[in-house]
Amino acid sequence: MRWRTLKKTKQSFPNKSPSVDYAPFAPRALGFLTDIFMLGLPISLILMAVFGYDQMHTASAVDVITNNQEALKNPPNPLSSLLQMVLFMVITVELWHRYTQTPGKKLTHICVVDAKTLKRASYWKLSLRFIGYFLSLITVVGFFIGLFRNDKRTLHDLISGTAVIREA
């Protein structure tokens, strides 16, 4: 064996772990917006059938918070709002757990996994991730933290111990 060949063989690192392809901001945002429509619209239609058509014309939560006069005339039904959020959470967490992706994430070829194992995350972590969305929404900065990190994890990913990666 020649010295050159032996030298090249010693320099290779076959035990090096494969690099992870974390999903960037744009596909994540597109997937999130797609999910709002693809999951939110059927849920809204179901709630409209249950609570009636008039429920869809009530004031929004933002109107209530800002003390808008419209909110005083036609206040939203708190049960409807709570049920809408619970249904959205249950469906989203189940899709994340079962398939590691929602329809929007499937469209953009990304999936939600456990950050340490890169395997399917537990219901607990995924539920915490969904709740973390609200903290990211309140701070606004939470969604954009991923732009400054190498692993592109946002606030709700850091809280829950999950990561969003590209499909293999």
| Residue whose C-alpha is closest to residue 43's, from 124, 110, 102, 99 | 102
Establish if 62 belongs to a structural domain: no
Structure tokens at 25: 């901001």
Separation CA 118–CA 101 (nearest Å): 13
Q: Tell whether the model's pLDDT for residue 113 goes beyond 90.
A: yes
Say if residues 76 and 94 touch (Cβ distance below 8 Å): no
Establish if 106 belongs to a structural domain: yes
Establish if 25 belongs to a structural domain: yes
Establish if 59 belongs to a structural domain: no
Say if residues 53 and 132 touch (Cβ distance below 8 Å): no
Mean pLDDT of the residues in the chain:
85
Establish if 104 belongs to a structural domain: yes
pLDDT (0 to 100) of residue 8: 57
The tens digit of pLDDT for each residue in 20-50 reads 899 999 999 999 999 999 999 999 889 888 8
pLDDT (0 to 100) of residue 148: 93
Establish if 7 belongs to a structural domain: no
Burial of 142 (0-12, 13-18, 19+ CB in 10 A): buried
Overall number of domains in the chain = 1
pLDDT (0 to 100) of residue 145: 93
Q: Tell whether the model's pLDDT for residue 168 goes beyond 80.
A: no
- pLDDT above 90: percentage of residues in the chain: 58
Separation CA 111–CA 105 (nearest Å): 6
Q: Tell whether the model's pLDDT for residue 3 goes beyond 70.
A: no
The whole domain housing 124 covers: 21-39+77-166
The tens digit of pLDDT for each residue in 62-89 reads 666 677 776 667 666 778 878 889 999 9
| Better-scored residue on pLDDT, 127 or 45 | 127
Is the Cα dihedral 142, 144, 145, 146 positive or negative? positive
Establish if 54 belongs to a structural domain: no
Considering 4-8, 50-54, 64-68, the range whose residues carry the highest mean pLDDT is 50-54
Residues 104-123, mean pLDDT to the nearest whole number:
96
| Better-scored residue on pLDDT, 165 or 6 | 165
**For residues 112-128, b (16+ Cβ closer than 10 Å) or e, as one string?**
bbbbeeeebbeeebbbb
The tens digit of pLDDT for each residue in 128-152 reads 999 999 899 888 899 999 999 999 9
Establish if 90 belongs to a structural domain: yes
